Structure 1
Amino acid sequence: MGYVSAVPPPRSDAGASDAGAPDAAAGASGAGRAAGRRSVAIALLLGALGATVVLLASGQVWARGTAAIAESSMALSAEGREVTGVPAALAIVGLAALVAVFAVRSKGRLVVAALLALSGLGAAAAALAGASDRAALDAEAARTTADTAARVAGLTHTAWPYVTAAGGLLILLAGLLALRYGRTWPAMGGRYEREGTARPRPRRASAAPDPDRPEDIWKALDRGEDPTG
């Protein structure tokens, strides 16, 4: 009689590695989806916060000075939108691009993400350029004194241009995140298309009419069916 061993043969290293490959792939895929979800939340937060900061800071006083009128002087001030309207305009463009990132797919998403990043970069650059600008107050001095050659004196700048630039940098970071992880972000209506679309219900076969029920016989006749069978 032959001897039969109840001990299973040892698994080879190749078999073990092949069995572990799907688990490693599944883990990497799960980690990628988790990173994508985190990047969505961070990008939305940075983009919305940055645009809000730019819009609010652009409405604050950026520069102050005085204009000489006769033997007195008049205090002048200029808000950010009077110095340059570029940051506020680009903040609105950035907000639109932040929403549009989820409405497009594939290469279109990369284009919109690049627009979002460029909007933040442009807003920051324009704000920094306006931090030392005096044209707005010179124009205000000329208008106030009715002298086209008048210039503002005692020019000072506030910190609001730098706050605006910081908001632009937040929008830029949101755009960079969209460029890096945007391919893994969900699209608007994606879940609806997968789960929310109403599926046609299968038509139920009509039950055979009951000859003891006159209403069933009349319904069968209305449908053109034979009520007897």
Structure 2
Amino acid sequence: MTALPQPRTEQPAEATAPAATVAERARTDRRSLALMLLLTILGAAVVLLAAGRTWARGSVAFQSTTIHVGVSGSETSGLPGALALVGLAAAVAVFAVRGAARRAVGVLLALAGSGVVASALLAATGTAALDGRAARAVGLTQAAAADVSHSAWPWIAAVGGVLLLLAGLLVVARGRDWPGMSSRYEAPGAGATGKRHAAPGPETPADLWKAMDRGEDPTT
């Protein structure tokens, strides 16, 4: 007796792909995601640290006394610190969105990094904040600080901004392959409510007896 040939079942492309290739792709995605988080956290930490340090120093003459003044990064410009916080929030939002929305979050993160770089470099040579501090020190509305010197902290803040910029570009380039939030973060009871409406059970004692007569399990 000749055995009948078994019908050939076509396997989907994903099933025929080598398991090693799929595993390697998953590892690459995890590495790029971890790199984005590292760049964002490190960049924001550098910017926030630099914002609390002295960016410029000078002096102002008052009668026969010379008063030394200085301004921190946050006093010079509040923009770098605020943009660093925006970058951290954007990195968290990456896990909550997908597709075009995730790409938009990456663009926002890159723009935040660019804003940090621009504002830090402008503050690295500016004297407006230091002049304002000098005027307040002598009780005048306007004064010009003398012997002005700038520290390296604005440049360090700019480096942090570059890290945020790179993190944003990484989201734009690779974010589409990263995982998002699990379905367990959906609204509580949504799935259970849908199931109850899809298959309602007996509601009266008579319905229970009728279900038992038909051989059905009334408890399902």
TM-score range with shorter-chain normalisation? 0.7 to 0.9
Residue 176 of structure 1: which of 143, 146, 169 is its match?
169
- CA RMSD in angstroms comes to 3.1
Residue 216 of structure 1 aligns with which residue? none
In structure 2, distance between residues paired with 1:108 and 1:135: 39
User: What is the rounded CA distance, in whole Å, between the counterparts of 1:92 and 1:124 in structure 2?
Assistant: 14
Q: 1:42-191 residue pairs with structure 2 within 5 A? A: 42-190=35-183
The aligned length equals: 193
Cα distance in 2, alignment partners of residues 162 and 121 from structure 1: 13
Matches of 1:91 and 1:221, distance apart in 2: 66
> 1:224 deviation in Å?
2.9
**Partners of 1:63 and 1:76 in 2: how far apart?**
9
Paired residues of 2:132 and 2:142 also in contact (CA < 8 A): no
Does the CA-based 8 Å contact 2:60-2:146 persist in structure 1?
Answer: yes
- Decide which structure has the larger Cα Rg and report it: 1
Q: 1:150 to 1:198 in 2, by over 3 A?
A: closer
Residue 189 of structure 1: how far off its partner (Å)? 2.3
CA shift, 1:110, in A, is 0.5
Question: Could you tell me how far 1:122 is from its partner in structure 2?
Answer: 1.0
Q: What is the distance in 1 between the residues matched to 2:126 and 2:95?
A: 37
CA shift, 1:58, in A, is 0.4
- Is 2:43–2:161's contact at 8 Å kept on the other side of the alignment? yes
* Residue 222 of structure 1, CA deviation: 10
Can you list the C-alpha shifts for 1:8-49, whole angstroms capped at 9, x where unaligned?
xxxxxxxxxxxxx9445x544433222111011111111011
SS for the counterpart of 2:55 is strand
TM-aligned CA distance change 1:155 to 1:36, over 3 Å: same
Tell me how far apart the structure 2 counterparts of residues 63 and 190 of structure 1 sit (CA, whole Å): 50
Tell whether the 8 Å contact from 2:44 to 2:160 is kept in structure 1 after alignment: yes
Q: Residues 171 and 227 (structure 1 numbering): CA distance in 2 closer, same or farther, change over 3 Å? A: closer
Q: Is the 8 A contact 1:221 1:227 kept in 2?
A: no
Q: Which amino acid aligns with 1:33?
A: A
For the 8 Å contact 1:47–1:174, the answer to whether it is kept is yes
1:185, CA displacement in angstroms?
0.7
2:32 to 39, 49, 52: 39
C-alpha contact 2:135 2:141 (8 A) present in aligned 1: yes
Q: Which residue of 2 aligns with 1:224?
A: 209
Q: Return the alpha-carbon distance in structure 2 between the equivalents of residues 149 and 55 of structure 1.
A: 30
Alignment-mate amino acid for residue 84 of structure 1? S
SS at match of 2:140: coil
Moved over 4 A (4+): 190-193, 197-200, 220-223, 225-229
Matched residues in 1 for 2:87 and 2:213: separation? 72
TM-score (norm 2): 0.76
Task: Give TM-score, length-normalised by structure 1.
Answer: 0.73
Instruction: Give distance in 2, aligned partners of 1:226 and 1:148.
Output: 89
Code of the residue aligned with 1:173 in structure 2: it is: L
